[in-house]
Structure 1
Amino acid sequence: MRTPRAIAPVLAAALAASVLTATAPTATAASPDIPVANVQAHLAQLQSIATANGGNRGTGKPGYLASVNYVKGKLEAAGFTTTTQSFSTSSGTSYNLLAELPGGDPNSVVMMGAHLDSVANGAGINDNGSGSAGVLEAALAYAASGQTPRNKVRVGFWGAEELGLLGSKHYMSSLSTTEKDKIELYLNYDMIGSPNPGYFVYDDNPVGNTARDELTAWYTSKGIPWEYIDVQGRSDHAAFRSHGIATSGIFSGAETVKTSAQAQKWGGTAGTAFDRCYHSSCDSSSNINVTALDRGADLIGHMLWLYAAKDLGGTTPPPTGGNLLQNAGFESGATVWTGTSGPITSNSGRPARSGSWKAWLGGNGSAGTETINQSVAVPSSATAATLSFWLRTDTAESGSTAYDTMRAQVVDGSTVTTLATYSNVGANATYAQKSFDLSAWKGRTVTIRFTMTEDASLQTSFVLDDTALATS
């Protein structure tokens, strides 16, 4: 985050202003779990880049270009089309990195972004490796989910923010009025892992109140207290806001001191800065609160999933025929799926049908129950909706008694419908596809659930892969 000319009294007042209510979030929004370990792995790479390049990733320094190339490589491998935009600064050449996914309405663009540069005297791991790593991992998870976006998804990693928001300003100045008008929303993520964190939501753009309310509603739904903040144009959203584009974002605090009231509701240390290493050489890998980083990354993912699919008045109708399930082949681990910890695995003890990951339910040879679940909205406009998955079953049981079972279910509120029950009887160690008509749930947000129950004797393994909920 750019250093202010002075810490204005209004900023301190905004930091202390607590808000108790929020507008309800959009009902159909999925809220994926972005693995914090993956975000930390990106931060470790940025730290290594800084260490190998004079201790920083600042504009005009080799560490900054190496950071751009690292992010670029990850995005391109995930299927994004990238553009590197160069521009001149007083510290040398800097770069913006833009990335887009295929699909989505090109006349209705939703953007999220973070500045990738550090200050000259530190690695910038919280400011702003944290926001950059959160945006990067959310983007990679979305690409892996197999979603078909309704809106065009665009991601920006900005250069020279620390020199005065130069990268984002350069980007906006490079766009025609027509192209600016296509951007429906920009969400900014600058410092999400502060070591003495708070949970702040930008409230400095009246045009962006809908997104602001979605952000605060997510915090409320998780039982996390939050506060509004006017960051006074100190980060890259300001370049978008100045052109009348809706903006908001989240922030975990910088050089301002945490009050006693804030420490009481958030924990941490009163009388100490939210980030005591702000713009200092100690802003390194140890300058991160993992809980704040995890929450921030999950919220970034939530907003990406929500606004990629949201009706923003564009010209393209909602996609049909694609897979409504996210991370349908489990290649992003447990991302989006909830339930028992452990069944979604790349363990080679049972083969995946495709890729390396699958859901391996059971196989323990001991009494227990395991589930995996995912909520999904079935469009009311669909003419057909079909759930399918591939199932492989092997067992050490024998005979005609169903000792171990797996049920495929649809959960609609308090109503649970079992589509099929599989057991150790007739187990087949070859993958076979199963399909079910879900047209009865059109216009409903339901949970797809797979539940395995195993007895205390011999094992049965139910291995799922390549799930789909397709509409037409």
Structure 2
Amino acid sequence: MRTSTPARFRSTLIGAAAATALAASALTGVTTAPAVAAPSPDLSVSNATAHLQQFQNIATANGGNRATGRPGYKASLDWVKSKLDAVGYATQVQSFSTSSGTSYNLIADWPGGSAENVVMVGAHLDSVASGPGINDNGTGSASILEAALAWAASGNVPRNHLRFAWWGAEEQGLLGSNHYMRTLPTADKDRIRLYQNYDMTGSINPAYFVYNDNAAGNFARDSLTAYYDSKGIPWEYTDPQGRSDHASFRSYGLPTTGIFSGAEGIKTTAQAQKWGGTAGRAYDPCYHSSCDTMTNLSSTAFDRNLDAIGHMIWLYADKTFSTLPGGNILANPGFESGATSWTGTTGAITSSSSKPARTGTWKAWLGGNGATSTENLTQTVTIPATATAANLTYWIRTDTAETGSTVYDTMKVQIVVGGVTSTLRTFSNVGTNSTYTQFTHSLLAHKGKAVTVKLLMNEDSTLQTSFVVDDTAVSVS
């Protein structure tokens, strides 16, 4: 799991009643909420631990690590590929360039299942250069490998198409998963109904965190929490933001979920009381260190999370997805394809590092000129006539050189429907917030109609105000 990110993981304990309320308002994309009673295999922790030992052996034989650009990474990928090829997966190695040399993604497809409904499971395979990366992220990689092998041996025929991925160069900034999504044709992106991310599942001082950062994936998030509840395992929500490979999928508006047993964060007293372990100590005291070896592992957490992963794969391999366009109907909502699908001011979508994106590299940056200017970005979508929910969401951060309470610079979030423009919210140089904050507006009143989403910025002649927008969505169900 990478560390360079605008914010650390934030976790919040939410009880069963609150979780039920959240589930009721989720933007699903499946016809019914998944049930805990779905098939839930007891995957072999002995087999998964043997996979971990193989990663350790590879690191030991290759300079003590499995980092991108080092021989240990390619050896890890070749070994995983050989296991998958032997049981009938169609595998593809995808190469891409990094500052450390060539890296690789490994994609494995199980034959069969609806090609229009792809359920995808991923984990990053690379370690940092300072250690073998057994918890980060040998645990996730070994878990999904064991799940893939167990599925092949099960004789099950999936309703949906199963795809597994082992990502390269996650530790350098999600480079592998970003490359995959950037080069995947739009039609193939649209076929991905759910992406599950498993990054660090066996921390030695473990937490049981469930990703809670993607409204489009709430249906899958709720499957995980229901599973933990059924096993009597307390859990907490966490917002992983851009720290792992789910962000590459979420930025395109796809439903995502995942679990996480903790990294460099410190376990609280309350968490130690419900989970065991040591309060005041990091969940993983060997995070990104040479001691992230086979001794840096909670076998209990690894086993529990392995079975949670198996439950999720078996459940969604057979889930009936609705024909209603679910999730995000905006194209290129995270701007990672540059200006593709957006029209308006040239250069307003940028990868400039002086204003960081919330996730990924690209974002919309309007204003910041310190001179009289008007900038805009627009995209038109059609809200399905059969929609029962439709929401515009976006994340925005602002900063300004202006002072005082007079409004000089503004950015309006607008929609245009049938030639009529409505302003949903106006941001200005007054009350700026340099932390990304999410805003939501209902569009359900416009179902069956074409809606143009518009960002309109006006800046006066002196002193800059910057409005930076990322991870937009028009989510429907």
Q: Give TM class, smaller chain.
A: 0.5 to 0.7
Pick aligned residue for 1:19 from 15, 22, 28:
15
Contact 1:108 1:314 in 2 (8 A): no
Distance in structure 1 (CA, Å) of the matches to 2:50 and 2:35: 31
Identity of aligned residues (%): 65
Distance in structure 1 (CA, Å) of the matches to 2:58 and 2:214: 35
- Is 1:268 the equivalent of 2:284? no
Q: Give, in angstroms, the shift of residue 15 of structure 1.
A: 2.4
Matches within 5 A, 1:228-239: 228-239=237-248
Matches within 5 A, 1:129-208: 129-208=138-217
Residue by residue, what CA displacement relative to the aligned partner does 1:172-221 show, whole Å, maximum 9, x if unpaired? Answer: 01111111000000000000000000000000001000000000000000
Contact 1:107 1:314 in 2 (8 A): no
Matches within 5 A, 1:175-324: 175-313=184-322
Provide structure 1 residue ranges, at least 5 long, that are not aligned to the other structure.
316-472
Contact 1:16 1:262 in 2 (8 A): no
Matches within 5 A, 1:397-416: none
Matches within 5 A, 1:90-109: 90-109=99-118
Instruction: Tell me the TM-score normalized by structure 1.
Output: 0.64
Distance in structure 2 (CA, Å) of the matches to 1:181 and 1:32: 29
Pick aligned residue for 2:119 from 110, 117, 127:
110
Q: What does residue 328 of structure 2 align with?
A: none
Q: Give, in angstroms, the shift of residue 88 of structure 1.
A: 0.3
SS in 1 for 2:196: strand
Contact 1:71 1:136 in 2 (8 A): yes
Distance in structure 1 (CA, Å) of the matches to 2:234 and 2:220: 18
Distance in structure 1 (CA, Å) of the matches to 2:302 and 2:7: 25
Q: What does residue 2 of structure 2 align with?
A: 2
Letter in 2 for 1:188: N
SS in 1 for 2:16: coil
SS in 2 for 1:169: helix
Letter in 2 for 1:4: S
Letter in 1 for 2:320: D
Q: Give, in angstroms, the shift of residue 17 of structure 1.
A: 3.0
Distance 1:231 1:124, change over 3 A: same
Distance in structure 1 (CA, Å) of the matches to 2:92 and 2:315: 25
Q: Give, in angstroms, the shift of residue 25 of structure 1.
A: 4.4
Q: Give, in angstroms, the shift of residue 58 of structure 1.
A: 0.1
Contact 2:167 2:176 in 1 (8 A): yes
Letter in 1 for 2:319: K
Q: Give, in angstroms, the shift of residue 107 of structure 1.
A: 1.0
Contact 1:59 1:94 in 2 (8 A): yes
Q: What does residue 73 of structure 1 align with?
A: 82
SS in 1 for 2:11: helix
Q: Give, in angstroms, the shift of residue 302 of structure 1.
A: 0.4
Higher CA-based Rg:
1
Q: What does residue 38 of structure 2 align with?
A: 29
Q: Give, in angstroms, the shift of residue 313 of structure 1.
A: 3.0
Residue by residue, what CA displacement relative to the aligned partner does 1:18-69 show, whole Å, maximum 9, x if unpaired? Answer: 4334457425510000010011000000000000000000000000000001
Contact 2:5 2:243 in 1 (8 A): no
Distance in structure 2 (CA, Å) of the matches to 1:274 and 1:15: 13
Contact 1:25 1:218 in 2 (8 A): no
Q: Give, in angstroms, the shift of residue 277 of structure 1.
A: 0.3
Distance in structure 2 (CA, Å) of the matches to 1:142 and 1:109: 16
Instruction: Tell me the TM-score normalized by structure 2.
Output: 0.64
Residue by residue, what CA displacement relative to the aligned partner does 1:106-150 show, whole Å, maximum 9, x if unpaired? Answer: 111000000000000100000000000000001110110000001
Distance 1:154 1:270, change over 3 A: same
SS in 2 for 1:15: strand
Distance in structure 2 (CA, Å) of the matches to 1:179 and 1:222: 36
Q: Give, in angstroms, the shift of residue 300 of structure 1.
A: 0.6
Q: Give, in angstroms, the shift of residue 7 of structure 1.
A: 5.1
Letter in 2 for 1:15: S
SS in 1 for 2:292: coil
Contact 1:186 1:247 in 2 (8 A): yes
Matches within 5 A, 1:391-402: none
Q: What does residue 363 of structure 1 align with?
A: none
Distance in structure 2 (CA, Å) of the matches to 1:258 and 1:4: 21
Distance 1:27 1:219, change over 3 A: closer
Distance in structure 2 (CA, Å) of the matches to 1:75 and 1:165: 23
Distance in structure 2 (CA, Å) of the matches to 1:93 and 1:173: 17
Contact 2:234 2:274 in 1 (8 A): yes
Q: Give, in angstroms, the shift of residue 5 of structure 1.
A: 4.1
Letter in 2 for 1:267: G
Distance in structure 2 (CA, Å) of the matches to 1:19 and 1:137: 31
Contact 1:195 1:274 in 2 (8 A): yes
Q: What does residue 358 of structure 2 align with?
A: none
Question: What is the Cα-based RMSD across aligned positions, in Å?
Answer: 1.4
Distance in structure 2 (CA, Å) of the matches to 1:104 and 1:6: 39
Distance 1:27 1:271, change over 3 A: closer
Letter in 1 for 2:106: L
Distance in structure 2 (CA, Å) of the matches to 1:176 and 1:110: 17
Distance in structure 2 (CA, Å) of the matches to 1:312 and 1:6: 34
